[in-house]
Amino acid sequence: MIKAAIAGATGYAGNELVRILTNHPDVEIKALLAHSYVGKRFDEVYENYRDINNMVCEEMNIDKLADECDVIFMALPHGVASNVVNDDILKRTKIIDFGADFRLKDIDIYEKWYGVKHEGRDIIQNAVYGLCEINREKIKQTNLIANPGCYTTCSILSLYPLVSEGVIDLESIIIDAKSGVSGAGRGLALSNMFDECNESVKAYKIASHRHTPEIEEQLSYAAKCNITLSFTPHLIPMNRGILATCYAKLAKSLTYDDVRNIYEKYYGNEYFIRLTKKGIFPETRWVKGSNFVDIGFKIDDRTGRIVIIGAIDNLVKGAAGQAVQNMNILFGLEEKKGLAFAPIFPA
C-alpha cells in the first residue's frame, strides 16, 4: 500500500483528494494536515465523511512525514512548498505540489507574477510539470511533481496538438476561460459570497492572471519557440468546472478531418481525453466530478480561425484527480486506477 499524507486536506482540492484516495485500492491515507483545523476530526469539518473518515487533522511536520509516507500531496497556496521541500526531503519521499512554486522553470518570472521570493532554486530543475498526457515519461523519473493549475490544464491540452503541429498562427492565440466559484478556494472572500456572484458573470485579473506564464511556458515547449498569448478568466455562478474557449488563426487551410486527425494523433490513446463528435461541443456538466477532459472544435471558414473548446472539472482533472493520476504514474500503477469513474449528472 502507498502511504499518503495530504497537506491542506480541508480545502476544496484537498477534500476532493481525500474523496478519491478513500476509494483507491492501493493507497492508505496516513495523515491529514490542516493548519486551521488542528485537533479537529475530518468528519467534523466535512459532515459528508461521517462514518467514513474520522481522522484527526494534524499540523504539518514535513520532516516526520517524509519518513512515514511514500508521497505527500501539498494542496496548499503558492509560496509554501518552496519553503519546506528540499533535496533531503525528496530523497525520502515523493512530493506532489498543487501550488505554483515548481511549475515555472524561470524563477524570475515566478517571482514577478506571484510577488514572493522563491526559496527552492536548488531543486527547481528536479521538478516535472505534471501534465500527464504530455510529460508521462518525465514524470516517471522524478520525486517532485508540479501539479498543473486548472485553467492551464484545460487550456494547454486544448491547444497542444495544434501548436505542436504548427498549424495555427502562434501570435493569434486568445483564451477565454470560465471557472466555477470553487476555483477560488474555500477561504472567505466578499467576491465569492452567494449574493456577490449569483446571477452575474465577470472577467477578473484581465491581462494579469498568474496562470498566463504557465500556459505560455508549456505551449512554448510544444512550439519550440516563445509564445505570448492573451488569457482572460471569468467567474461563473456555478460550483465547479472550467470551460476554455480558445481562438487562433489557422496558418494554412484545413478541413475538419485534418484537424480531427491531429487530435487523434496526440490523444487517440488517452483514456482521460475525450474528443466530442462533429457539431457537439464540450459542456462542464458532462465532465463534472470526473478526471475527463472534453475537447471539441469548429473551423470558421469566414474568418480563417479555429475555435477550440475544452471542459474539465477544476477540482478533479484541474487538481486532485490529476494529482492521483501523477501518483499512479510515479508508482508504476495503471494510470486510471482509482479514477475511472463516470462524471456525475445531474449535480
pLDDT in tens, 121-178: 999 999 999 999 999 999 999 999 999 999 999 999 999 999 999 999 999 999 999 9
Burial of 248 from C-beta contacts in 10 A (0-12 / 13-18 / 19+): buried
Phi-psi group of 298: left, alpha or beta (phi > 0 → left; psi -120 to 50 → alpha; rest → beta): beta
Catalytic positions are: 150
- What CATH topology corresponds to 151-312? Dihydrodipicolinate Reductase; domain 2 (3.30.360)
Query: Quick one: pLDDT at residue 136?
Result: 97
Share of residues in the chain with pLDDT > 90 (%): 92
- 71 and 4 Cβ atoms separated by less than 8 Å: yes
Ordered by start, the domain boundaries in the chain are 2-126, 151-312
pLDDT in tens, 291-331: 999 999 999 999 999 999 999 999 999 999 999 999 999 99
Pairing relationship of beta strands 230-235 and 202-203 according to DSSP bridges: antiparallel
Same fold for the pair 2-126 and 151-312: no
pLDDT in tens, 263-298: 999 999 999 999 999 999 999 999 999 999 999 999
* Region 211-236 average pLDDT: 97
Q: How far apart are CA 126 and CA 124, in angstroms?
A: 5
Report, at the CATH architecture level, how domain 2-126 is classified.
3-Layer(aba) Sandwich (3.40)
Record the pTM. Answer: 0.95
- What is the arrangement of strands in the sheet containing 128-129, beginning at the earlier edge strand? 27-33, 2-7, 71-74, 94-97, 144-146, 128-129
